[in-house]
Copies of this chain bind each other. A is one copy, B any other.
Amino acid sequence: MIKLYRFGRPFATEAVVEALAPQPAETLPYFSVQNDGCGFSCELGKETAVYGLGEAIRGMNKRGWIYKSNCADDPSHTEGKHSLYGAHNFLLIAREKPFGVFFDYPGELIFDIGYTEMNTLQVSTKEANLDVYIIDGDGLEDIVRQFRRLIGRSYIAPKWAFGYGQSRWSYYSEDEVREVVRQHRENHIPLDMVYLDIDYMERYKDFTVNKKTFPQFQEFVQEMRQQNIHLVPIIDAGVKIEKDYSVYEEGVQNGYFCKKADGSPFVGAVWPGKSHFPDFLNQKVREWFGKKYAFLLRQGIDGFWNDMNEPAVFYSEDGLKNTFSELKKLEGQNLDMDKVNHFRGLVNDLSNNPEDYKSFYHNCDGKMVRHDKVHNLYGYNMTRAAGEVFEKLEPDKRILMFSRSSYIGMHRFGGIWTGDNCSWWRHLLLEIQMMPSLNMCGFLYAGADIGGFGDDTTADLLLRWTAFGIFTPLMRNHSALGTRKQEAYRFPEAMPALKKLIGIRYALLPYLYSEYMKAALRGNLYFRPLAFVYPQDKQAAEVEDQLMLGDELMLVPVYTQNASGRTVYLPEDMKLVQMRSVSDFTVETMEKGYHYVPAALDEVVFFIRSDRLIPLSYGGECVSQVDFNHLRLLGNVQTAATYQYYNDDGSSKDYENPAHFAEITMSADSRVSAKGDMCLQLESAL
């Protein structure tokens, strides 16, 4: 049961897709309201866990910190930060009778979850204009399912996008990309995508291709497709100010860029230097910008990642002018502590400065809305711009799309990657902890940069991260300019193991894709904290480094260096699977309780729950080589196991067709059978 409580006159974020009649604000349950609707306070039981917030630092249970919904391009994801790139204002309060709450508010929102007072949740906004949705239900999963229905079906990626992708800031030329592909194909490391970071463009201009380094782009895209490789270019939010650059010229002519109070377009710098920012909150601008993607679609591109759309602003024209004038004043002075801090601040506070976000406006149905009040909607609407146009241009073809910045609502138009993480073991754990939170907020096509983006990776970190990454819908290895190159083939000692691990991804694809589709179609979680599955088990409730995948698996990733295994908690008897390749694995039944599980660097270890089975393929080096109809079933069958299998062509949108569902059964003596229209070949994997 979802109820809406409206405070003031909320901005129409279009986060939700169901229109509810608002209840009287003064009847809002669970919270006491302060500051005329800018503050919401709720007492928490000493042991009540709080879940949600999607993309955020710290653990699955968000208690004990202040989180700020304020989409920010900050590449240092440490425990002391308050914001990442997204704003996902949904919380689940896991009381004995749990409830969910969604604060639909597009400006800065603060969640003090037991930070100031250990047993108090305090939510605060700057203005008392917001919609608060309260969701009561029959347990945590039911509440999530209701919420997901409210916000609409999650984005569904093409099947090929469930393959493995390789990225780097940057592959600078066709030949560099060819070499990446060659290395993968010759070494039989499966691969479906190569990402093009900012340097494929001509001087960082959106919807251009550098003619020197990618001279025959259309032909090159085809050449790659013949090798079963999809090229996935990046698109940035900022548009370079450059005379005769058509996107710039059109935007200026039509008034499509965000404007300052004086009506002139706001000037902020990103990669190309001075740029304008399309006013994505305006429907006309979205249509205009969305259609620009056709420049690449026409050349055979069928996937994109949207970046820098918080929006990131290195400096504003006005801010930089001020900095230079202030710097001059400091010259020749004795810069002591205070002055040196001021000096540094003049430069370092230029980026993503809150004052700049207050200095430009959106035109929303004729009304000028100051950016900071709707800041968290910018990335959402950039991705929506593309998504809405794709629906028209390619009504029956799925286009890969994911974004850095997001707000709930954007999950209908694309996935996200978790931004500029680092090659830190702690960030592998952070991804493990973030995935179920993202799922709760509707983001299913998600994943972190495997191996880590910033800083230098190590062979063992890449191995362990890959062993987890094979389970995330978005599986991409990506690394930053200036860091150690981290393609699998750069590590001669680790490559054989990396190849096998990535191969296991392709073996798991029938299961992973099926689970993804069911999660999207039914509003389920793809990844769940153990607490959601075993709500009565106090030990399970605290486990923050294991994940349930679907109804079948429990993942127990290794995320510490120099460990040859880890301790795990089993909330029930399960079967341990130690998988070294598509065809080489061992299984062992383990009892409920604490165990140490060995996990070599070249192994994936996970558990199958009792009376469950998962379908495996025979593998492949790209998704199109994987046979989704010829399945090996890996089961932990005491009496009988049934699995609802989903499969489709992976590119069209006839998702709900009953022919896409089959019921696969396995008996205790390993006999297998299937019901449904699919033509499946089944056998037991054991």
Contact = CB atoms under 8 A, between A and B. Distances in A.
Interface of A: 47, 49, 58-59, 61, 63-66, 76, 78-80, 115, 117-119, 203-204, 269, 271-274, 314-315, 320, 324, 327, 331, 334-337, 339-340, 343-344, 347-348, 422-426, 454-456, 458-461, 493-494, 539, 542, 544, 560-565, 567, 569, 594-596
Contacts of A315: 335, 340
Main secondary structure of the interface of A (DSSP, over half): loop
Contacts of A271: 336-337
Given A561-B59, A561-B64, A78 B340 contact: no
A596 B78 contact: no
A24 B183 CA distance: 47
A458 B272 contact: no
A456 B561 contact: no
Contacts of A59: 560-562
A424 B80 contact: yes
Given A78-B78, A115-B458, A314-B340, 15 more contacts: A64-B459, A65-B458, A78-B455, A79-B423, A80-B455, A118-B493, A273-B339, A320-B335, A324-B327, A343-B347, A426-B426, A542-B562, A544-B562, A569-B596, A594-B594
A43 to B, nearest CB: 13
A59 B560 CA distance: 9
Contact of A347 (B66, B117, B203, B348): B348
29 contacts: A47-B564, A64-B460, A64-B562, A65-B561, A78-B78, A79-B423, A79-B424, A79-B425, A80-B422, A115-B456, A118-B494, A119-B493, A204-B337, A269-B340, A271-B336, A272-B337, A273-B336, A273-B339, A274-B334, A324-B327, A343-B347, A344-B347, A347-B347, A348-B348, A426-B426, A542-B563, A544-B560, A569-B596, A594-B595
Contacts of A117: 493
B269 A335 contact: yes
A438 to B, nearest CB: 19
A426 B595 CA distance: 24
B337 A331 contact: no
B327 A314 contact: no
A119 B562 CA distance: 12
A231 to B, nearest CB: 22
B458 A562 contact: no
A339 B80 CA distance: 30
Question: 9 nearest interchain CB pairs?
Answer: A80-B455, A273-B336, A273-B334, A79-B424, A347-B347, A61-B562, A567-B567, A271-B337, A324-B331
Contacts of A337: 204, 271-273
